[in-house]
Structure 1
Amino acid sequence: MKVWKGKLFVVSAPSGAGKTSLCNRLLEEEERISYSISYTTRQPRHDEEHGRDYFFINVEEFESMIEDGEFIEWAKVHNNYYGTRKKTVEEYLADGRDVLLDIDPQGARQLRKKLGYGVYIFITAPSIAELEKRLRNRRTEPEEIMKLRLDNARKELKLFGEYDYIILNQDFDEAYRCLSSVYLAEHLKTIDINSIHDLMEKEEQ
């Protein structure tokens, strides 16, 4: 397609819903979308890398970035800070690229209120029991953190109505087809096309 304007895609989900896996596949298959890596004060899991999954920084560094106005959104979730660097998002969009944010509902709410634009997608698992099963299968966190994540999940599920789309991740391939369809459909909106002639072949004189 000839006309392609960069858009902001914001994906949220309770812990264990599988949003990171879905987002990773979208990034692998769609070359026009870039991932904005979040900053966090939590400790990395065994398979996570600084600069790839998150920028892992300490509380003092994070709070300094807050004071300097470097975040387009930030929140404290599960007793840790998470935030999105404003400059990164702005640079991608200015370059005509799509931007994908994998953030919690607190951050998504901030963005929607502050920016007034973006495509907001909520991912959920088929049940709380399934969320708990997936979290336990990770074997990455102590029991008290897991309980906190499940308690927060119950609250986050109530916020689905603040999003443009909701995707049930019961079967991964089907959930990905839904996510991919949303992504492509958002670039077929007439509102983003200034002239039909931008889309069509020019007539020969």
Structure 2
Amino acid sequence: MPKIVDHDQYRRTLLSQCFDLFADHGYASLTTRQIAKALGVSTGTLYYYFPSKEDLFMQLIEELTEQDLLRATAKIEGLSTLRERILALGDFLEANEDYFIKQTLLMMDFYQQAGVGQSRVNEAVQRVSERSRDEIMAVLQLENPLVATHILCLIDGLIAERMVNPAMVSYRQQAELLADLLTAYLERPKGEAR
């Protein structure tokens, strides 16, 4: 009897093994053949699931983002105040800092290869960004997508700053400051200038 393969699960299994591979070697320096060898599969199998290295990488980023959002949401859900939710988000980032630094460096490497201009605009990365913004709006109970985008930019900047100067920047302090700023912003009278 032929073996029944759950292709979606197998694809996810391959993806789960790729993050450390890309993080250790960089996007640019890995070939599809090297990836297949490290995963213990043929290049034909790899191409069956991922038509190109870029497609594999984009599926990896989408899968990682989905898992990251599920893990972060689990830490934040059930907390009643905006302050508690923001502090929990800061704690989540701090607890997973090494992972997020690797992810940030990997994205930088990918974009360095893409170059400047329209070629660097990638639909998968845009979907990930929009999904992250929407999840921030949901878990922090925000109505304004610009505020959620601002928080994403702050997170990206915070991770980058922690890479170069970890002693100067604290996740907890930045989360407390963000909570203070957002609370003041969201509680101001409706007619007050934005």
Which protein has the bigger helix share? 2
TM-score, normalized by the shorter chain, greater than 0.5: no
Structure having the higher Rg: 2
> What is the TM-score normalised by the length of structure 2?
0.29
Higher RCO, Cα 8 Å, sep 6+: 1
